[in-house]
């Protein structure tokens, strides 16, 4: 392939102005719409917005005063907690209000060449996915952003001439490569069930968005090449997958992607970026990826996402007359809902998914907490970025090098109060994080023609990345094993206790039934044996009979009765033997349960040993980082 990468000064050639749109999509001065000032959007802190889901008993627990949320702690409602946000959207807020106040300014900045990230965070079933995607009649912020973005850009070429690279540069495409890139969308449409349905859905959305404001570019950009690219990734059980690939053959697992670093920026290696020329194509890719996303039913949400999803739009700009290029990205991240195991009642695969979701969100919160503390104390401390794939991807944004905002969603139902409090506490920490743009680290340049220097730098960089990745993997595995082992131990212990209690009750009831049966049979035998004797005595006392029969004939009835008695006693003996066998089997089962309980105790001891090993690994990590720091100082 004749691919040529261009990497020079980062310059954007687009500077849109926001206007409303007429029926023919041509702006005039009379149609200007009042929109928030773009220049004053960010301030010095991470913007955190709150959206409250519709609920009947909202005012019983929560109250809104400007941008402050008052929470009345049940059941007495005497304790009131307060949380401040950049803006609060109540239960009756529309999708349009949220988009205009939160996203519109960011899309304009994205067109101007600034990287943007928007996160949605909240408990399961709080409305995160609805906020991002919406419905055909109530489009979410992603379809609205796509419509504004493509309506603002000039007509894109049918085939792309440039493509962004992971290093931040631009790659020039030949005519054959350009045609091959366009075939990707066509192939996905062939493998999709009904692509026309997605296009029809987006057409309905466009009818509801036709009166929304769009941007206008007044500058002459006739010599500027533009191309738009879309990617869709999923982080499921701490593994990264590409959602824009065809399903593998039956029996074959999905391909796992790995994280790679370039100039301290993490990106997903081999993640597919697909060229799109319209908002409808981008929306089709969004729906195609959502079909491959992992969903499952829990006790809290019937259609709960079991992974984090990142939908990314990239805009590449290059000019024929100027040397500067621009590659900007807009990340829409739908974080999986934080869950409490007591509420979701998850077991098996759902339990493992919940543990991984909670673990990654825990690391995400620790990173934000560490950034906040580091900025307040004005010191540098070790951030746990590499303990989770999610924090590795958004490390650059959380450090203030990108425009980043967060929409926090809560369910105001009283039964979800504890989950909502956890989300609100997390958002309070995130709001205090400063997002001032940081200066890039200056490094000594190595002569590219000196092969030894280049090889040495590449080897050291790859070794450092491998050590960090392996250490993060080990820490995550140990922590995950601990969570899984604790949950499994509690589950098995409670299950065996119930089995032992049930077996005990069954055995006691069986023994009582056997004793009752034996007593009943004994009484019947006694009655049957004593009744003939009494009757004979009564006959002798009252009447004198002349018996002419022989003694042998009198002995026949007595022998029959004795045989019946023997037969009844034999049946009782058989029942007793059967009950004794059942009792022995229950005793064996009890012994097996005791042995399993002892094995669980041994597993607990092994878990404690793993925790000790983890501490030793952390200590070794500090030593390795000191050595690597010395190596870096030696090189630079």
Annotated binding site for ATP: 122-129
**CB-CB neighbours of 200 under 10 Å:** 13
* Residue appearing with tokens 């009484």: 523
Exposed / middle / buried, residue 132 (Cβ in 10 Å: 0-12, 13-18, 19+) = buried
3-state secondary structure of 413: coil
What does 342-395 look like in DSSP terms, one character per residue? HHH---THHHHHHHHHHHHHHHHHHHHHHHHHHHHHT------GGG-HHHHHTH
Dihedral pair phi/psi, residue 166, rounded to 5°: -60, -25
Dihedral pair phi/psi, residue 72, rounded to 5°: -95, 115
Exposed / middle / buried, residue 66 (Cβ in 10 Å: 0-12, 13-18, 19+) = exposed
Structure tokens at 584: 């022995």
H and E: helices and strands count for the chain: 15, 21
Q: What's the CA gap between 103 and 80, in Å, rounded?
A: 31
3-state secondary structure of 284: helix
Q: Which residues pair with 414 in a beta bridge?
A: none
- The residues, ordered by sequence, that sit 6+ positions from 298 with a Cβ below 8 Å of its Cβ are 124, 304, 339, 344, 345, 346, 350
3-state secondary structure of 467: helix
Dihedral pair phi/psi, residue 510, rounded to 5°: -65, -45
Dihedral pair phi/psi, residue 383, rounded to 5°: -95, 135
Structure tokens at 470: 């392996």
3-state secondary structure of 96: helix
Tell me the pairing of strands 116-122 and 325-334: parallel
Cα 262 from chain centroid?
Answer: 26
Q: What's the CA gap between 561 and 533, in Å, rounded?
A: 13
Dihedral pair phi/psi, residue 306, rounded to 5°: -100, 15
Tell me the pairing of strands 403-410 and 116-122: parallel
How far separated are the first and last CA of the chain, in Å rounded? Answer: 36
Q: What's the CA gap between 130 and 55, in Å, rounded?
A: 15
Q: Which residues pair with 186 in a beta bridge?
A: none
Q: What's the CA gap between 70 and 81, in Å, rounded?
A: 6
Nearest C-alpha neighbor of 120 from the set 385, 310, 290, 355 = 310
Report the sign of the C-alpha dihedral through residues 389, 369, 402, 375, in that order: negative
Annotated binding-site ranges: 122-129
Q: What's the CA gap between 282 and 285, in Å, rounded?
A: 5
Helix residue spans in 99-140 (DSSP H): 104-111, 128-133
Cα 376 from chain centroid?
Answer: 30
Q: What's the CA gap between 331 and 102, in Å, rounded?
A: 14
């Amino acid at each position: 392939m004749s691919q040529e990468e261009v990497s020079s000064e980062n310059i954007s050639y687009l500077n849109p102005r926001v206007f409303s749109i007429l029926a023919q999509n041509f702006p005039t001065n009379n149609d200007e719409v009042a929109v928030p000032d773009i220049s004053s959007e960010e301030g010095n802190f991470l913007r955190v917005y709150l959206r409250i889901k519709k609920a009947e008993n909202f005012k019983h627990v929560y109250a809104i005063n400007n941008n402050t949320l008052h929470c009345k702690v049940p059941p007495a409602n005497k304790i009131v907690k307060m949380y401040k946000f950049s803006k609060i959207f109540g239960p009756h807020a529309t999708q349009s209000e949220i988009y205009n106040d939160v996203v519109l300014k960011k899309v304009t900045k994205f067109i101007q060449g600034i990287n943007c990230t928007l996160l949605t965070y909240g408990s399961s079933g709080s409305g995160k996915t609805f906020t991002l995607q919406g419905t055909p009649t109530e489009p979410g912020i992603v379809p609205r952003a796509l419509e504004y973005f493509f309506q603002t850009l000039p007509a894109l070429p049918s085939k792309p001439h440039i493509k962004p690279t992971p290093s931040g540069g631009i790659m020039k495409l030949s005519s054959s490569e350009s045609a091959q890139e366009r075939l990707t969308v066509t192939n996905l449409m062939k493998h999709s069930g009904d692509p026309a349905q997605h296009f029809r859905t987006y057409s309905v959305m466009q009818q509801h968005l036709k009166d929304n404001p769009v941007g206008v570019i007044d500058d002459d950009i006739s010599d500027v090449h533009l191309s738009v690219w879309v990617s869709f990734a999923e982080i499921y059980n701490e593994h990264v997958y590409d959602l824009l690939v065809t399903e593998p053959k039956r029996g074959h697992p999905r391909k796992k992607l790995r994280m790679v670093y370039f100039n301290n920026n993490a990106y997903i290696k081999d993640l597919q970026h697909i060229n799109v020329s319209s908002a409808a194509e981008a929306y089709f890719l969004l729906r195609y990826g959502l079909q491959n996303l992992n969903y499952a039913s829990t006790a809290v949400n019937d259609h709960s996402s079991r992974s984090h999803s990142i939908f990314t739009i990239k805009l590449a700009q290059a000019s024929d007359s100027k040397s500067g290029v621009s590659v900007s990205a807009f990340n829409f991240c739908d974080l999986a809902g934080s869950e409490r195991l007591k509420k979701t009642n998850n077991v098996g695969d759902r339990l493992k998914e919940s543990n991984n979701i909670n673990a990654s969100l825990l690391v995400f919160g620790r990173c934000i907490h560490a950034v906040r503390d580091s900025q307040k104390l004005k010191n540098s401390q070790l951030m746990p970025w590499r303990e989770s794939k999610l924090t590795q991807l958004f490390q650059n944004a959380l450090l203030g090098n990108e425009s980043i905002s967060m929409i926090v969603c809560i369910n105001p139902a009283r039964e979800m109060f504890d989950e909502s409090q956890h989300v609100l506490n997390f958002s309070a920490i995130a709001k205090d994080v400063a997002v001032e743009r940081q200066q890039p680290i200056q490094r000594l340049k190595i002569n590219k023609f000196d092969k030894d220097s280049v090889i040495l730098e590449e080897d050291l960089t790859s070794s450092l990345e491998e050590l960090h990745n392996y250490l993060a993997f080990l820490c995550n595995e140990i922590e995950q094993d601990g969570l899984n082992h604790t949950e499994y131990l509690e589950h098995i212990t409670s299950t065996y206790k119930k089995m032992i209690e049930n077996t005990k009750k069954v055995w006691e009831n069986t023994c009582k039934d056997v004793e009752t049966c034996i007593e009943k049979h004994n009484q019947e035998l006694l009655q049957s044996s004593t009744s003939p004797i009494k009757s004979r005595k009564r006959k002798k006392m009252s009447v004198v009979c002349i018996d002419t029969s022989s003694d042998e004939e009198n002995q026949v009835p007595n022998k029959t009765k004795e045989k019946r008695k023997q037969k009844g006693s034999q049946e009782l003996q058989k029942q007793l033997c059967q009950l004794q066998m059942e009792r022995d089997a229950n005793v064996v089962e009890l012994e097996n349960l005791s042995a399993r309980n002892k094995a669980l105790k041994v597993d607990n001891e092994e878990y404690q040993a793993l925790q000790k090993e983890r501490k030793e690994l952390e200590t070794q990590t500090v030593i390795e980082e000191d050595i690597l720091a010395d190596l870096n100082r030696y090189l630079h």
